[in-house]
Structure 1
């Protein structure tokens, strides 16, 4: 009895048993649509956030934030440059590297790869490859012992494991008494890594920096220096700063030039999925408008009686706004609850579906990420809930306005 009259009547209209069953069904469908739309939006955005985080951790964990090389992809001398770069307060770590394409052979199997020469002592400062090893260790890369660490797909393709030998053929020739011969070197497999990226697992191998300098005939030079920064998003700005500081004889690039398209694609997909899935809520809101319009037509006699008793049009309008808002609020609340539950348990739900139906949603040979990650942000949940509530209230305005415009005499003429 202490409720405002509009709230009291609006609640009665919402759960009244005497209402037209078809109208009740449309109202229920509207509530269900809002609930499903909110639930799917929260779940999909959490999955997209998880994909973005997983890609960022995998890619930016193993690639350099900034790379400094010479104008001809060779840097010599490089020790002074390394000291200069390490002195920058934005730089967490720096490590030299060499990089060339070679052909690896084991028996009648061969594989083209990119061999990177690294310093095992400095590499952990700029990359997490050391922590992604399935077998062996980077410390086993010792100068002049010609050890090699292969990506897991390279090792499987060549059919080798720890302790096996592979032959590297360098696309450089040397003149011998027997004629012109390609440069060949035997390596011992001392490690196998799995990063989760085709670029590394299927195309990259690591050897010691000293061995690579001998192999590629670069005794006093390297291909460049890799840097890891305090804030990876400051890489573009620092790239411009270093380019101006080092001069035209150096080439400075950052991760956004090599891998930025992947993250831009993820963000674009995230926006596209949000827009598409918002249409589910939009359809539910149109159903809500339709149900309210039919409710107004069904309650014309009630409206006329209330107006005759002295209820002003504004109060009539608020009755139907309350009725529609209750449907939107209930749908949004249940949608948020279910969406949060799904987002927090995607890691358990997806494997269950895959095991039940016997397929992989994201095959590892086609995607960077083979599992469905989820990263739910409270800010996303709040934004979706507030937007759904606002839209639910706004769409009730027109049907409520039509109810307020009903003339009592016209409605009661045939009663």
Structure 2
């Protein structure tokens, strides 16, 4: 059976024989180094992809793609505005809202919160809050009921559940014969939601839009109109296009004003992590250089004999390129398999480890997300594998060239 001589000898040199066990051990170490770097890179980038996806789903599920409000921060004619923008093909849905800051009180417990007044039916077309209710129903926020739906962590901090009463203190004051006192209203907790982000679960309360307008002293008005576009990432362009058909006495903003820098930071961090972890692969590739240099030194006599038998320098160079490439190929393949398996199971592995040691690595009150999500992107896997393999090939060039320059007479002079 025909086998290219360079390939055959290169594969023979990869295996340990008699007196070169140490060199083969270094080859194994280099192989494992490449595998470790590739696996770590795939796992870390998959976790960062998972974080980005979860944050987008949770943040953009609660934040409007864009909103329109009046010059004074309120809207009175929002139904007319809604009819005007409804004909825009890029606008999927719209819903009015009232928003303001307030304090919730229950016994000795007091917490500041963001209060959002919504139309329960329309709100479900622009946000995911209706799908996140774990107790009660969003439909119970009827006009005049003065019910309130709290985030899970906020309800826990206040020590209330569905059916309990809670006092809301708004920043608007009421003059009385005894002086100016804050405006207070007793509300009924009709539901609890869990978004999965501490920011919302601990700091957001939702109530009926008309009830909220009365509490914030803007009866018959709303804070603005929330919009949902068919493509959230084109929101700035679509909003500018939409505002060309809207009267000039309105102002608007899209989600990028609040969260764009955050997502840009995530992408920048992902790029930096790729570069840093690729250094692990580079170190492993440097080990391949060391391995091949040692191998060339150890095999000088063999190389000289091959040259005297007629092997040309290019074929000698091919022997050691085959050896280094094989180390890189096996290491990259092991790393890809290990990284993919780890990325698919990292969430359950971390959860099991947290349960075993009784410690939570990512507390919800510190991090945006308390779990460790992972989303494997095959495009990332391809880039990592190709980059690692190319580095491995490049690391073979100098030792292989050095082997091809060995002069047979000098190498065999003292043998």
What interval of TM-score do these two structures reach, taking the shorter chain for normalisation?
Answer: over 0.9
- The residue number in structure 1 matching 2:232 is 232
- SS for the counterpart of 1:354 is helix
Name the residue aligned to 1:97: 97
1:142 paired residue number? 142
TM norm structure 2? 0.97
Distance in 1, matches of 2:71 and 2:413, equals: 91
Offset at 1:391? Answer: 1.3
| Aligned residue number for residue 410 of structure 2 | 410
Partner of 1:170: 170
- The answer on 1:181 being equivalent to 2:181 is yes
Match of 1:249 in 2: 249
Map of 1:267 onto structure 2 = 267
Q: 1:247 to 1:408 in 2, by over 3 A?
A: farther
Which residue of structure 2 aligns with residue 337 of structure 1?
Answer: 337
How much does 1:177 deviate?
A: 4.2
Matches within 5 A, 1:193-212: 193-212=193-212
Encode CA deviations 1:372-392: one digit per residue, 9 max, x unaligned. 111111111112111111111
| Structure 1 partner of 2:294 | 294
TM-score, length-normalised on structure 1?
0.97
Larger mean Cα displacement after TM superposition, 169-178 or 53-62: 169-178
Of 249-258 and 29-38, the range deviating more from structure 2: 249-258
Alpha-carbon RMSD across the aligned residues, in angstroms, is 1.4
In the aligned structure 1, how far is the partner of 2:146 from the partner of 2:74? 22
Deviates most, 196-205 or 174-183: 174-183
- Count of residues in correspondence between the two structures: 415
Asked whether the 8 Å contact 1:242–1:252 carries over to 2, the reply is no
The corresponding residue for 1:76 is 76
Q: State how far apart, in whole Å, the 1-side matches of 2:137 and 2:226 are.
A: 21
Q: Which moved more, 1:92-101 or 1:254-263?
A: 254-263
SS at match of 2:369: coil
Mapped contact 1:77–1:220 kept (Cα < 8 A): no
Query: Which deviations, in whole Å up to 9, do the C-alpha atoms of 1:154-213 show, x marking residues without a partner?
Result: 212221111111111221122334443322211111011111223321111111111112
Q: CA deviation at 1:294?
A: 0.8
Contact 1:42 1:384 (C-alpha < 8 Å) held by counterparts:
yes
Secondary structure of the residue aligned to 2:187 is: strand
Query: How many angstroms does 1:67 deviate by?
Result: 1.2
What whole-Å deviation, never above 9, does each CA across 1:3-60 have from its counterpart, x for those lacking one? 1111011011111413522222211111010011111111111111111111111111
Q: CA deviation at 1:248?
A: 4.0
Matched with 2:315 is 315
* Residues 61-110 of structure 1, C-alpha deviations (whole Å, 9 max, x = no match): 11111111122211122111111222211111100001111121112221
- Give structure 1 regions of 4+ aligned residues with deviation exceeding 4 angstroms: none
Partner Cα separation in structure 2 for residue 365 and residue 174 of structure 1: 35
Q: Which runs of 5+ in 2 are unaligned?
A: none
Q: Distance in 1 between matches of 2:236 and 2:105?
A: 39
